[in-house]
Chains A and B, each alone.
Chain A
Amino acid sequence: ILNVEQSPQSLHVQEGDSTNFTCSFPSSNFYALHWYRWETAKSPEALFVMTLNGDEKKKGRISATLNTKEGYSYLYIKGSQPEDSATYLCAFDSNYQLIWGAGTKLIIKP
C-alpha cells in the first residue's frame, strides 16, 4: 500500500515569518510529485509538479524541493502573508492516480 505522509498536520505562523513543511512518499515507482494549495470552498490550486530528483521550483514567495531517492519534498513559504492561510497538500503521482497526503493546515497570524 502506497502511503504519503505530511507534517506537521497544522501550523500557526506569525505574519512575516518564513515556514516550511514536509511531504514523505514512496521512493519506488516514482513519476511525479504534486503540490496543491487548497482554500475552504474552493478548488485545489496546483502549485508545482516536480519530476526530477533535485528539482527546485519557485512561484513568488513559495518554493519546493524534491528528493526522490529518499522520498521527501519540502515546501517553503518566505515572508508569510495572511492570504497564505490554506491547506497545502502533496500528491504522489503513480499509474494514472494521485495518492494524497492529509495536508498541512497553515494559519497566518496577523
Chain B
Amino acid sequence: DAGVTQSPTHLIKTRGQQVTLRCSPKSGHDTVSWYQQALGQGPQFIFQYYEEEERQRGNFPDRFSGHQFPNYSSELNVNALLLGDSALYLCASSRGDRGYTFGSGTRLTVV
C-alpha cells in the first residue's frame, strides 16, 4: 500500500518563474493538505482540498494556488517565485478521522 507520493523531490527555479508540485494521496484518502516548512520552523498550513475544492486556506498570498483531481491527487502552483519561497513543501492526505499521512516533501530552491 503506497503512502503519499510527492514529485519532484528537489527543484531549483529562478525568481519570477512559476512552479508546479504534485502529490498522490495514500490509497483510500480523499483529502489533501499542503504545508510549507522553512528552515528551523514548523510546517505552515497553505491550504486543504476536498472534493476538488479548496476547503480551508492559511495565510498565504494568491500566488499560491492548487487543484485537486477526481482521483484525489493534487497540485500546488506557485507563481512569480520569490527567494523567500525556498522551502520544503509537504503534502498530507487524510480521510475523515483527521489522521494525516505525509509525503517526504519537495525541496524547492529559488535562486
Interface residues of A (CB under 8 A from B): 4, 31-32, 34, 36, 41-44, 46, 49, 89, 91, 93, 95-103
A43 touches B3 (CB 8 A): yes
A97 touches B101 (CB 8 A): no
Q: Which residue of B lies closest to A6 (CB)?
A: B42
Give chain B's interface secondary structure class. loop
A42 touches B104 (CB 8 A): yes
B33 within 8 A of A: yes
Interface residues on chain B, size class: 20 to 34
* Chain A proximity of B59: nearest CB distance (Å): 9
B43 touches A100 (CB 8 A): yes
In the bound complex, CA of A103 to CA of B43 (Å): 10
A98 touches B102 (CB 8 A): no
In the complex, which residues of chain A have a beta carbon less than 8 angstroms from the beta carbon of B104? 41-43
Q: Which residue of A lies closest to B40 (CB)?
A: A102
Per-position binary interface string of chain B over residues 87-111, scored 1 when its CB falls under 8 Å from any chain A CB and 0 otherwise = 0001010000011111111000000
